[in-house]
C-alpha cells in the first residue's frame, strides 16, 4: 500500500466518491441478506428472487451493490451488470449495456456488436441466444431505477420473461423511493415477482461516528482530526438524514482547508466551512452525471429564473444548432425530475417560469 508523505492525507483516495471500502460497517446484515438471495439463485435456478432495495441518500445502497458485485465476479461464475439509470434511462440503453457487459466479460474474444441501426428486438434475441449458448447467469442492477420508469420499464418485463425460456437472470432494483413502482404497469410489476425487499435506513449517530472514524483512520495521517471535529461532523451528517456522502465530502474538503492554513489539523471550524459546500454532495454528483446537452441547458438558467419563451430564445442564440422547442422542453422536464430545477405556470398568459433549485455556482464548477 502506498502511504504518502502528505502532512494531512495518508490515502486521499479513500475519500473519493468511487472508492469502495473493503468493509462497510453497519451494513453487514443487508449485504448478507442480498448475497444470500443471490447465492441461493446461483445454486438453484428455480429459486430466483429479484431484489428491491430502497432507502434515503447516502446510506450505502450503491456501495453495497458494488461491494457484492466485486465479490461475485471474483468468486462465482455469475456475470454482473451495473446500470446507473440516471445515465442510461431507456430500454434500449439498458439492454445494450447488458449486451456490452456480456461480451466484455463472458465472451472477451468476440467483437462487441454495435448498437447502430440494430432494433431493440433484434438485440434482445441476440441476448437470449447468447445466454442460452453460454449458460451465463446475469445479475443485473438497475440503480436509481426511478429514472428508468416509466419510459424504459419494458426492459424489466423483457428480462423477467427470460425465465420462461429457462434462462436464469436476477434483477436488483435500487431507489430512494419506496413507492417507485406504484404507477408502473401491473403487468410489468407482476412479471418481476417474486421480489425480496431490503430496506436501508439512515444511520444512527453512533453508527455514523464509527463509519467516519474508520474513514479517518485510513484516509488521514494519525492525529490530524480533532475528536470534537469528528463528533460535530457525525452529528450534522445525522441531522441531514444520516448521509455518509456528506460526511465523506466534508472530510475531504476539511482536509484541504487544514492543509491550506498550514496547521495540518482539522478542527470544528474546518468542518463547518467545508459543510457549507458538501451539503450539496448529492446534487453535485447528479450535476456531474448530466449529459453535456443537459449541462449546457441548465448552465444557461439565470440565478433569478426565467420564463420559458425567453429561455428558448436565449438558448437558440447561444446554441444556434442546439435542440428545438419540443426537445428543449423534454430536457427541461428531465431536469425537473432530477429535482435540479422547477417549472411552474405564472402570470395571466400562463407561461412556464423556470427556477434553479440548486446554487448556480454548483452548476458552473
Ligand atoms: N457503512 C458504510 N461504511 C463506509 N462508507 C459508507 C457506508 N455507507 C455509505 N458509505 C459511503 O458513503 C457514500 C455514499 O454511499 P452510497 O453511494 O452507497 O449511497 P446510496 O445509498 O447509494 O445513496 P443514493 O440513494 O443517494 O444513491 C459512499 O462514498 C460510500 O462509500
Ligand atoms: Mg446510490
- CB of 247 within 6 A of ligand 1: the answer is no
Mean pLDDT of 17-32: 94
Say whether pLDDT at 349 is over 80: no
Q: Which residues pair with 341 in a beta bridge?
A: 356
- CB of 163 within 6 A of ligand 1: the answer is no
Neighbours of ion ligand 2 (CB under 5 A): 62
Within 8 A by CB and 6+ apart from 84, the residues are: 143, 144, 289
What span, in angstroms and rounded, lies between the C-alpha atoms of 4 and 311? Answer: 49
User: Which ligand is nearest the CA of 142, by number?
Assistant: 2
- CB of 245 within 6 A of ligand 1: the answer is yes
DSSP per-residue string spanning 337-358: HTTSEEEEEETTTTEEEEEESS
Say whether pLDDT at 1 is over 90: no
Give the CATH number of domain 290-364. Answer: 1.10.10.10
Q: Best mutation site among 17, 25, 62, 141 for ligand 1, i.e. most ligand atoms within 8 A of its Cβ?
A: 62
- CB of 246 within 6 A of ligand 1: the answer is no
- Cα dihedral: 86, 147, 20, 210 (round 10): 130
Q: Angle of helix 268-278 relative to helix 244-260, nearest 10 degrees?
A: 120
Say whether pLDDT at 321 is over 80: yes
What span, in angstroms and rounded, lies between the C-alpha atoms of 19 and 256? Answer: 18
Say whether pLDDT at 96 is over 90: yes
What span, in angstroms and rounded, lies between the C-alpha atoms of 180 and 145? Answer: 8
pLDDT, the chain, mean: 93
Q: Percentage of the chain with pLDDT > 90?
A: 81
Class of domain 12-17+203-280: mainly alpha
Q: Angle of helix 308-318 relative to helix 325-337, nearest 10 degrees?
A: 110
Mean pLDDT of 247-253: 94
Query: Superfamily for 28-199?
Result: P-loop containing nucleotide triphosphate hydrolases (3.40.50.300)
What span, in angstroms and rounded, lies between the C-alpha atoms of 140 and 130? Answer: 16
pLDDT tens for residues 254-288?
999 999 999 899 999 999 999 988 778 778 888 88
Give 105 Cα–ligand 2 centroid separation in angstroms: 24
What span, in angstroms and rounded, lies between the C-alpha atoms of 309 and 282? Answer: 30
User: Which ligand is nearest the CA of 208, by number?
Assistant: 1
In the structure, what pLDDT confidence band is assigned to residue 2 with cuts at 50, 70 and 90? Answer: low
Say whether pLDDT at 34 is over 60: yes
Mean pLDDT of 92-121: 93
Confirm whether 28-199 and 290-364 share one CATH topology: no
What span, in angstroms and rounded, lies between the C-alpha atoms of 59 and 27? Answer: 9
Say what the pLDDT of residue 213 is.
96
Within 8 A by CB and 6+ apart from 359, the residues are: 280
Residue ranges of the alpha helices (H) in the chain? 28-43, 61-75, 91-105, 120-134, 154-160, 186-191, 205-219, 227-239, 244-260, 268-278, 281-289, 292-300, 308-318, 325-337, 360-364
Q: Are 358 and 340 in contact (CB under 8 A)?
A: yes
Say what the pLDDT of residue 3 is.
55
pLDDT tens for residues 292-301?
899 999 999 9
Q: How far is CA 191 from CA 34, 152, 188, 200, in A?
A: 20, 15, 5, 24
* Residue located nearest, by CA, to atom 17 of ligand 1: 62
pLDDT tens for residues 302-319?
999 999 999 999 999 999
Say what the pLDDT of residue 279 is.
78
Say what the pLDDT of residue 351 is.
87
Say what the pLDDT of residue 190 is.
94
The H or E element containing residue 359 is none
Q: Where are the domains of the chain?
A: 12-17+203-280, 28-199, 290-364
Of 8-17, 204-213, 263-272, 340-349, least confident by mean pLDDT is 340-349
* Residue environment code for 325-347, b if the CB has 16+ CB neighbours within 10 A, otherwise e: eeebeebbebbeebebbebeeee
What span, in angstroms and rounded, lies between the C-alpha atoms of 139 and 80? Answer: 5
pLDDT tens for residues 351-362?
899 999 988 888
Say what the pLDDT of residue 278 is.
79
- CB of 24 within 6 A of ligand 1: the answer is yes
Amino acid at each position: 500500500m502506498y502511504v504518502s508523505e502528505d502532512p494531512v492525507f495518508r490515502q486521499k483516495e479513500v475519500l473519493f466518491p468511487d472508492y469502495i471500502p473493503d468493509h462497510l460497517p453497519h451494513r453487514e446484515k443487508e449485504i448478507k441478506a442480498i448475497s444470500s438471495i443471490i447465492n441461493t439463485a446461483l445454486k438453484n435456478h428455480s429459486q430466483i428472487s429479484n431484489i428491491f432495495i430502497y432507502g434515503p441518500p447516502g446510506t450505502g445502497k450503491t456501495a453495497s451493490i458494488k461491494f457484492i458485485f466485486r465479490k461475485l465476479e471474483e468468486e462465482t461464475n455469475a456475470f454482473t451488470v451495473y446500470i446507473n439509470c440516471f445515465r442510461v434511462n431507456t430500454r434500449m440503453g439498458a439492454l445494450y449495456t447488458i449486451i456490452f457487459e456480456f461480451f466484455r466479460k463472458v465472451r472477451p474474444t468476440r467483437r462487441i456488436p454495435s448498437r447502430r441501426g440494430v432494433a431493440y428486438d433484434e438485440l434482445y434475441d441476440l441476448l437470449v441466444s447468447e445466454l442460452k449458448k453460454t449458460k451465463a447467469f446475469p445479475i443485473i442492477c438497475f440503480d436509481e431505477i426511478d429514472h428508468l420508469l416509466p419510459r424504459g420499464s419494458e426492459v424489466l418485463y423483457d428480462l423477467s420473461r427470460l425465465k420462461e425460456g429457462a434462462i436464469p437472470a436476477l434483477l436488483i432494483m435500487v431507489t430512494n423511493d419506496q413507492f417507485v413502482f406504484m404507477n408502473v404497469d401491473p403487468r410489468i410489476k407482476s412479471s418481476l415477482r417474486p421480489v425480496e425487499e431490503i430496506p436501508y435506513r439512515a444511520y444512527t449517530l453512533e453508527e455514523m461516528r464509527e463509519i467516519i472514524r474508520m474513514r479517518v483512520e485510513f484516509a488521514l495521517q494519525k492525529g490530524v482530526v480533532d475528536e470534537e471535529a469528528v463528533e460535530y461532523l457525525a452529528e450534522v451528517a445525522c441531522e441531514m438524514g444520516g448521509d455518509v456522502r456528506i460526511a465523506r465530502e466534508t472530510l475531504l474538503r476539511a482536509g484541504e482547508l487544514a492543509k491550506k492554513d498550514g496547521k495540518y489539523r482539522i478542527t470544528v471550524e474546518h468542518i463547518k466551512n467545508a459543510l457549507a459546500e458538501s451539503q450539496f454532495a448529492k446534487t453535485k454528483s447528479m450535476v456531474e452525471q448530466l449529459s453535456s446537452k443537459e449541462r449546457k441547458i441548465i448552465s444557461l438558467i439565470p440565478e433569478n429564473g426565467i420564463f420559458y419563451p425567453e429561455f428558448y430564445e436565449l438558448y437558440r442564440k447561444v446554441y444556434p444548432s442546439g435542440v428545438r422547442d419540443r426537445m428543449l422542453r423534454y430536457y427541461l422536464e428531465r431536469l425537473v425530475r432530477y429535482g435540479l430545477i422547477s417549472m411552474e405556470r405564472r402570470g395571466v398568459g400562463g407561461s412556464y417560469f423556470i427556477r434553479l433549485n440548486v446554487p448556480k455556482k454548483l452548476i458552473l464548477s
